[in-house]
Amino acid sequence: MDNSLTLLAFIACLIFIFIKDKQAFRYAFLCLVFHIVGSFTYEPIMSFDDDKVYRYILWALNDIVFIAIVAYWALKDKMYMWQSIIVQLVVLPAPILQLFRLVDRHLMDLSYSTYLYKSVLPIVNTVTIVLCFVPLLWHFGQKLKWKNNSIKS
């Protein structure tokens, strides 16, 4: 796992605690938890799964749970709806790719998924962390708008 993404999620959590944005904090904290859990479970899963079958199923389920939590929180107004929709669209290829990799490697004995797998999943992981910081743009935009309105008055 990439520890720099975990560190960025942690920094996002600290920033949103400081500016008191609960909805943005909740998503950043979810990303942090999933990255920490992923870091701690990676080696045990790899050592347990010699046949390279269960890892793809577990990781696909992990992504589906992540999407489900984000969708549920958006419906309950515990997360920004726009952020939830973008996150779901970004993460959706991950479980599909995990299952495609499983079929590609084991049922068809092909290697079509190798390059997709090595390029798309890191992009998905990085974009999910980048989306932690997008509410900051909105926050600073509102501050700037408020400041401009107070200067004109």
Residue found by looking up tokens 């993404």 in the block = 5
What value, to the nearest 5°, has the Cα angle with vertex 41 and ends 39 and 43?
A: 90
Dist. CA 145–CA 76, nearest whole Å = 28
The predicted structure's pLDDT at residue 72: 98
Long-range contacts of 45-48 (CB under 8 A, 24+ apart): none
Helices (H), the chain: 3-18, 22-48, 54-75, 81-91, 93-102, 113-152
The predicted structure's pLDDT at residue 153: 58
The predicted structure's pLDDT at residue 104: 86
Low-confidence ranges of the chain (pLDDT < 50): 1
Give the residue numbers spanning the domain of 138.
Answer: 3-152
The predicted structure's pLDDT at residue 142: 79
Considering its fold, how many domains does the chain have in total? 1
